[in-house]
Amino acid sequence: MLSDFKNRRRSATAEPPAPTPNSAPAVSQEAPKPMADCWQHIGIWGNNSCPELKAHLHCRNCPTYAAAALRLLDARPPADYRREWTEHLAERTTTAAAGTPFLVFRIGDDWLALGIGAMEEVGETRPIHTLPHRREGVLLGVVNVRGELLVCVSVGRLLGIKKGVGTEEALPGKAAGRLLVVSHGGARYALPVTEVRGVQHLVLPPEPPAPALDDQVMGAAGLSRVEWRGRSVCCLAEEKLFAALNRSLA
């Protein structure tokens, strides 16, 4: 209806009015209909008389103009278009990063990595409000993350890392400390860590070798140990980590 109105001026002067479909344009075997270029006549490139201009200010903001732009894609593909795309898509991409994305971080002296699926944000450290009678164990207290109180837990203590965060001497400088906000199964936790090295693509071995017997971190929630820039990083298994967390909080 709207386009009928917009084309009224043009169809009165130029061509006999074409029957305009009032539903979505049907895909037909014949070539697409000539475009109704109201913007050339009553729009911004015409005489500015279109009442819709008050609302949209410029034709490029108008849905009629956008719909006309989409109709350009109803044209037949140019010669060689399909062949070029076929060749282009058949090639293997070599630039894509191999491996699984993990957030690599450090707690004490141990480098850990957790899949980014669970990660919500990395933020500044915040004051941890301790809870009465819960001085020991994994639960450090609660932190305020943008007005929401989150349970703050020490992964260091959970995994048995010796110099875990939460003990004072573990933080070498205040600027280095970060607070990870992770979520799993609807529950959100805040995890203070010593340092974050961003998202890295780590290639996990298909069959991880059995962890060393004294490797406490791997035993607690490890998936596999990988080499990353000369360091041994322990990739954590999300399921195991959160199961252990829930057990120790209960």
| Closer to another protein by Cβ: residue 109 or 239 | 239
Cα-flanking dihedrals φ and ψ of residue 104, to 5°?
Answer: -100, 130
Query: Is there a contact between 235 and 111 (Cβ–Cβ < 8 Å)?
Result: no
C-alpha triplet 78, 80, 86: angle, nearest 5°? 120
| Closer to another protein by Cβ: residue 77 or 160 | 77
Q: State the nearest-atom distance from the C-beta of 45 to another protein, in Å.
A: 24
For residue 204, give Cα distances in angstroms to 117, 118, 207, 243.
16, 18, 8, 22
| Closer to another protein by Cβ: residue 136 or 207 | 207
Binding mask 66-105 for another protein (x = CB under 8 A): ----x-xxxxxx---xxx-xx--xxxxx------------
| Closer to another protein by Cβ: residue 90 or 213 | 90
| Closer to another protein by Cβ: residue 20 or 232 | 20
| Closer to another protein by Cβ: residue 13 or 23 | 23
CA distance 23 to 115: 47
**Across the beta sheet with 222-228, what order do the strands follow?**
195-202, 100-107, 110-115, 231-236, 222-228
Q: State the nearest-atom distance from the C-beta of 71 to another protein, in Å.
A: 9
Cα-flanking dihedrals φ and ψ of residue 102, to 5°?
Answer: -130, 150
Q: Is 174 in the site for another protein (CB under 8 A)?
A: no
Q: Which residues contact 72 (CB under 8 A, 6 or more apart)?
A: 35
Bridge partners, 148 (sequence order)? 145
Q: State the nearest-atom distance from the C-beta of 63 to another protein, in Å.
A: 9
Binding mask 16-35 for another protein (x = CB under 8 A): -------xx-xx-x------
Site residues (vs another protein, CB under 8 A)? 23-24, 26-27, 29, 70, 72-77, 81-83, 85-86, 89-93
